[in-house]
Chain A
């Protein structure tokens, strides 16, 4: 009976060790290489960047979104950061905000959409607005 008990106890310990052995690599994987203090997830970074633009935008309604890259993540993260403002990819909507990766494409986008730049912010963030006639 004693042997059976210890065999089962060993089996349970093995079971627990298996569970712990699956948790340990996960913890190792989670800890960022650059350290906790230096790490910032992309959504928080994007939200922080839009904070400077937010005061210049209307509180409600729909604004345009333009970019020189078709990055779904950029559009979704911007919508998340600026809710409850609604973002539309319709180029006719003014004001519009956007993310420009290549500075040389800013002029092209501005002319294409006939919407003057109000301000260029850090990290390629841009605000456009058509003058009210």
Chain B
């Protein structure tokens, strides 16, 4: 992991950049993409007004991560009885205590854990769990299990932090389609995967007209005002995102590259005013029904390395104290292994909360491996909305009761 600061290399400090940006300097000399007008100024001013804003990065491991083969209960003989073939051998476990240890591929997470920066939350789930990827993830996205909400929990958190919706680019969602979790009624999430294709598809000769698209300063009403605002912010955001990305020097970092955390790091380095980042893993890479070991080993390693690499980037950028990451899936997996050396859809899972601000350790009651429910499944012990409430209230300082519609006990895993 390199710690070289590209801005220092260019001879310009971050402070200079802010000042220059506020003065309307083009980015050309930094990123080589030609003049970038007032958009940078806007992004920079926003952060200058709120320089210590806390940031939450939700890293969603879609597909149904096998929690039992992630934080391995190697001290429980029942674990090996349920998983005679694909259970992680004691010799391969990176031990935490006499009962639990990290999967061997998660050395990077073990490093962070040993530094006291990782909270492991056991048994996270909800009552009457769904075994469908899509149904269950919609429950997690809305924070409304076996119910519904038209907005997502991250979108509602943004509304609680900034009820007037005054702050631009409050939410960034690295995804091809908008994740339900970020849908809100006050903030327009910035949704993209490839910064370089987050732009209008136009023929060369049409480009001259694009500037006039949002050129209407007399909206006829609220809906019109809103689409005009988004038209302008779309043009600006697509430009500023591409500018931030062009400037980012860690694009070749293999730890980050595969899992989209590099885009988050790039925007944080560019002082985006974003407080809420949502990064769902693409593909159902954790859906390990068949020959689980090889793909799961690899996937856990990629993810663990990416997380450690991401926090090394935060350290380099100088924002490590301001960023907390939350990792969850839509469900865990069945306790007994299946006939194809894999595991099927299950219930409770293990979650991680990571960052300098986190009080490291284990939280939540580990589910019993003897008293299985709903056909060989773990009984969840921690409602996932308790973790949400913790992040919303303890970390971001927002109103968790308002966001979640009811009170949940927080877990006390953020340092005071």
A binds B: no
Hey, which bits of chain B sit against chain A, CB under 8 A? none
Hey, which bits of chain A sit against chain B, CB under 8 A? none
